[in-house]
Amino acid sequence: MDDLLQEFVAETRETLEALAGEIVAWEAQPTDGARLDAIFRFVHTVKGSCGFLDLPRLSRLSHAAEDVLAAVREGTRAPDTALVNAVLAIVDRIGEIVEAIDAGVPLDDSSEDLLVAALAEDARPVSHNLTNTGHRAPARSVRLSVDLLDRMMSGMSDMVLARNELARRLRDEGSDPRVEAALERLSVTVAEMRDAVTRTRMQKIEALFSALPRMVRDTAAELGKTVALTLEGSDVELDREMIEMMRDPLVHIIRNAIDHGIEMPAARGRAGKREMGRLTVSARQSGNQILVEIADDGQGVDVPRLVAKAVERGVCTSADAERMNDAARLALIFTPGLSSRDSVTSVSGRGVGMDVVRANVEQIGGRIALSNRAGQGLAITIQVPLTLSIMPTIVIGCGDQRFALPRASIDEIVTLRGETVRIDTVGDAAVATVRGTRLPLVTLAPLLGLTGGAARTLAIVGTRDGSYALAIDTVLDTEELVIKPAAPAVMATGVYAGQSLPDSGLPMLLLDGAGIAAVAGLHFDRGIMADEVQPEALADQQVPALLFDDLDGQRRAMALAAIDRVETVPVGAIRRAGGCLRLTVDGAVLPIRLVGDLAGRDELPVLRLTDGSSEIAYGIAEPLDIVALPTEIAPARGDGLVAGVVLIEGEQVELLDPLALFADAESVSAEPALCLLRDDDAGWMNVFLRPVLEMAGYRCVSRIEDGCRPAVTLTMAAGDAGAPADDAVPVVRLRRERTAPLGTDPSIYRYDKDALLSALAHAVAARRAG
């Protein structure tokens, strides 16, 4: 009989957790016959079991609820608020009695007559505490004892470690093929058993979510608010121990959101919002982590008031508050005893709770993050590990330490050799280019405070927000590891997802790819789907740019998308040739633009710019930082290289125009016009004129070879006898005298450089147009 009673308690407890949400959903949609049937079946099953197990109090309550629900099913009763409250009270009382039976403690029955009486049509509203969960036994069971599941998982972990050790020894010492075949069969069996045992401890997070609709309904009603709850990701699985440990933090955050965050209906109407608040609780899996997000559309955290309270309470000084960034100011909400609220309610506002919530989350190896939008809402993300999970990993070396990375988070591993992988420095940031794709680069050794060797390998790590390159010393092995939470102090660093004991017997930490990106300060630009783009969203987008000091002492910036890399070149690689400055680098000759001189320099930082098909260079004095360009740009006057002026950290900064740079380079790179020099004056044109024309971008010849046709011919005014007979080739005539003779004379004084170049340009343009 004891076994039957324990089974009844376990089944009733599980059904009750799911039932509260069904009743609330049924109240919102009374015509939903499927939910009504589910509730009816539950009370009917409880009534039948109570008769067999001799539990008269439970039998009486369930029988009364069954009669009322039967009337609703037959259409003789309407499921109004009073009836739903009365049924909820009966269900709550059933739960209290079940917990008392399991704990072996007595429970007073004086209120049960009132609960049954409240089911009548003309009854007064029920006053039973709808959120009282009664006595809860410390031990839980689902057909099997949790302790037994723990022992099964521990034994399975030992089997995996023994299998790994055996495989390593066979690899090192060699073995008979038949032994290897047997090991392979053993590995398959162990993997299947591992998955099965792991699933016995896993439970859908729906067990955590099921009580939320009821709790949200009751809390909102108590405060005079209406809140619509949306649950997402209920089928995500998590270790059942983690589900139990997350229950209290989640409840506190949700109650706080309803009281603290979501405004009263009248206030929401004045703010242009719907009177009904919205609360979304979602769960998703990211690698070896489970992320639970609680987001509301309320007023968010009043950060200025929070900071003022912190200063008032002596948590920080005004100067400290001024130096804090937005994230640090928002994190003050976790300070014990600090609240941005002036009034105290029965739900929240006492300044206790958020510090306890964070402590509880960190105790189980998790983290909590806030995303605040003043006047629009607050999103709280809880990230916890999948405890006791066996997962495939890649073991890497960094200095004299070994770490593991989840194999699922690694897109690929590449070595730093060849032309397909390159590392550049843009400002203070390192960038890895892998087969033409640029990725932020994080070097693991300095991030962890280790003395590593030369990083020869890049692991391309993918996160939910984007990918980056992780520079490591070496890749050692692939191994399936049993992952457990590390100590709270270790997990609080943000770069670890747990710990393991591999077959070597030496403890090893599992790295968290997303955590490393966060600690390194990486920010990924998320793409926006075309159908999701709103005008206000486009207006808020900021373009990353490189801030630098130019050679003329002016501080300037350029959009980062146009910069392929920043590198230092010797000044000797820059020389004037073919009418413009050119840079010899990587076996190629690139046009280079300089604004200022190179006096006293042996080396020069150079921006190598690309538009996808061509490449040019721009010399600078010093790269400074990568910044986000503000949306407001004051336009520059004229058609120069400066597109406008922006304000960065209170300083005016000129924004260079890549379009003008490439347009200028295109004109230089265009096929130079061919000038025929007809000189009958002892080579004057070759000595004096040719260098000037070639610096201006022309190609000069003294005689026409077969197949060539000049764009223009230059000749002396008194020596045109040798001019070509081709009337289609324009001729520019030069004279020796500064003053032109009387009459019409189209010749140009031979030392008037500006007039000569202007005449050549017009002549070439007319030639090409013809």
Read off the pLDDT of residues 680-727 as tens digits, 9 standing for 90 and up: 666 788 888 888 887 777 778 887 776 677 888 888 876 544 445 556
Query: What pLDDT is attached to residue 435?
Result: 75
Please count the structural domains in the chain.
6
525 falls within a domain: no
Whether 128 shows a pLDDT value over 80: the answer reads no
Q: Is residue 270 in some structural domain?
A: yes
Name 569's Cβ contacts closer than 8 Å, sequence gap at least 6. 583, 585, 603, 604, 606
**What H or E segment, with its residue span, contains residue 70?**
helix 56-74
Tokens encoding 478? 């692939």
Is 698 part of a structural domain of the chain? Answer: yes
% residues pLDDT > 70 (the chain): 82
User: H or E stretch including 322?
Assistant: helix 318-323
| 132 and 149 in a common domain | no
**Domain CATH for 289:** 3.30.565.10
Query: Which of 629, 649, 668 is the endpoint of a domain?
Result: 668
Which of 48-52, 271-275, 311-315, 351-355 is least confident? 351-355
- Residue 281, pLDDT > 90, answer yes
Which residues in 532-569 are b (16+ Cβ under 10 Å) and which e? eeeeeeeeeeeebbbbbebbeeeebbbbbebbbbbeeb
How far, in Å, CA of 373 to CA of 273, rounded?
A: 15
The CATH number linked to 735 is 3.40.50.2300
Task: Name the more confident of 91 and 663.
Answer: 91
Element (H, E) at 691: helix 690-695
Residue type, 759: A
CATH number, domain of 627, equals 2.40.50.180
Residues 77 and 210 in one domain: no
- Encode 434-487 in three state secondary structure: ECCEEEEEEEHHHHHCCCCCCCCEEEEEECCCCEEEEEECEEEEEEEEEEECCC
Domain boundary among the residues 649, 668, 687 is at: 668
Does residue 224 share a domain with residue 170?
no
Query: What string of DSSP letters covers 392-403?
Result: EEEEEEETTEEE
Cα 60 versus chain centre, distance:
55
CA dist., res. 609 & res. 567, Å (int): 11
Q: Is residue 230 part of a domain?
A: yes
Amino acid, single-letter form, for residue 378: L
Paired tokens of 577: 């040739």
Residues 233 and 370 in one domain: yes
With tokens 């940031």, the residue in question is 429
Same domain, 327 and 419: no
Give the per-residue pLDDT at 378: 92
Question: How many whole angstroms separate alpha carbon 373 and alpha carbon 436?
Answer: 37
- pTM for the whole structure: 0.45
Residues 210 and 347 reside in one and the same domain: yes
Same structural domain for residues 411 and 455? yes
| Nearest residue to 747 via CA among 757, 736, 758 | 736
Q: How far apart are CA 329 and CA 311, in angstroms?
A: 11
Q: Is residue 326 part of a domain?
A: yes
Window from 266-270, 351-355, 713-717 with minimum mean pLDDT: 351-355
Say whether both 400 and 273 belong to one domain: no
Listed residues 106, 138, 170: the one ending a domain: 138
475 and 583 share one domain: no
Whether 358 is covered by a domain: the verdict is: yes
Distances in Å between the Cα of 210 and the Cα atoms of 122, 206, 216, 297, 439 are 31, 6, 11, 22, 42
Q: Is position 527 within any domain?
A: no
Angle, to 10 degrees, between the axis of helix 212-223 and the axis of helix 240-256? 20
Residue 662: its H or E element: helix 658-669
Query: For residue range 27-40, what is the model confidence (pLDDT) as tens digits?
Result: 777 778 888 888 88
CA–CA distance, 134 with 106 (Å, rounded to integer): 11
Strand partners, 225: none
Nearest to 277 by CA among 211, 229, 231, 232: 229
Average pLDDT taken over every residue of the chain: 78
- Identify the domain containing residue 357 by its residue range: 206-385
> Which H or E element spans position 12?
helix 2-28
> 248 in a domain, yes or no?
yes
Please tell me the number of Cα atoms within 13 Å of 661 on its side-chain side.
27
pLDDT value of residue 379: 92
Mean pLDDT across 165-169: 76
> Do 369 and 508 belong to one domain?
no
Q: Are residues 541 and 637 in the same domain?
A: yes
- Say yes or no: 28 and 168 in one domain: no
CATH for 149: 1.10.287
- Render pLDDT for 211-266 as a digit per residue (tens, 0 to 9): 888 889 888 988 999 999 999 988 888 877 778 778 888 888 998 899 889 999 99
